Amino acid sequence: MLGKFIISTLLVAGLASTATASTQVYSADSVWKVKDQKAFTALMTCTTPAADCIAKKMKQLGASSSAVKLTAALKNEGYLAKFQEQGKVDLGTVIYPFRANTNSAYVMLNGQPGMVSTEITKLPGLEKDASFKQLKKKYKNLEFWGTNAEFVKTNKTKAGTNYVFNYSLKDGCNACATPASAQVEFRFNGQGKFLGTQYVKIVK
């Protein structure tokens, strides 16, 4: 059991890595309804994630204007493949076709800001946790892997909504052993404002 929780407010630089300001309201209409392989094949004809090329290919394969706008908000690096309405803050799955590894990620949509990514680089509080220290004795290169988060659940309270995800703890590389996961909450208040992330516990 943790002695205390460490809350990351993610101000200024931190927010830049996880959140994208947006006034766009996203919905099921923002999903690009196309088979992944077909999308990959079409988009790979664009030599870079160039806006004009990406938008053109998406429209040719039936993407709505809302889907194209969401892709633009992702700097034309990905598209929305799934949308789950959850209330004040919704959940989406993004596909990143131009990446060599980790081609998908969850995003939280329609809060403040309009898009918050689950891809994070640091997790304050993890290395102080006794369970992590114990694992580190066996797995010398154990580290937090801030991509490919696994959605666990949402915790809705009077104060707001918390999205819970598990992140892999890997022994030094993407293909290395994964002895445990770190559970993290993304916290939103009752108005949908993003408050930051909170490390919860080690999950084996």
For residues 98-102, average pLDDT? 88
**Residue whose tokens read 């806006």:** 51
Which DSSP letter does residue 40 get?
H
Domain boundaries, the chain: 25-117, 119-203
Gap between the Cα atoms of 128 and 125, Å rounded: 5
pLDDT the model gives residue 101: 86
Token pair for residue 47? 């030599």
> Is the Cβ–Cβ distance between 194 and 17 less than 8 Å?
no
Q: Which residues contact 174 (CB under 8 A, 6 or more apart)?
A: 101, 145
Among 48-57, 77-86, 174-183, the minimum mean pLDDT is found in 48-57
- What residues form DSSP beta bridges with 84? 91
pLDDT the model gives residue 169: 98
For CA atoms 44, 49, 52, 54, give the dihedral sign: positive
What pLDDT, in 10s, does the model give residues 155-191? 999 999 999 999 999 999 989 999 999 999 999 999 9
Gap between the Cα atoms of 99 and 13, Å rounded: 24
The pTM for the full model equals: 0.86
Element spanning 165, H or E: strand 160-171
> Given a cut of 80, is residue 2 above it in pLDDT?
no
**Residue whose tokens read 């959605």:** 151
What pLDDT, in 10s, does the model give residues 106-117? 999 999 999 999
> Between residues 49 and 132, which one has the greater pLDDT?
132
Percent of the chain at pLDDT above 90? 80
> Given a cut of 60, is residue 17 above it in pLDDT?
no
For residue 22, name the pLDDT band (cuts at 50, 70, 90): very low
Residue 121 burial by Cβ neighbours in a 10 Å radius (0-12, 13-18, 19+): exposed
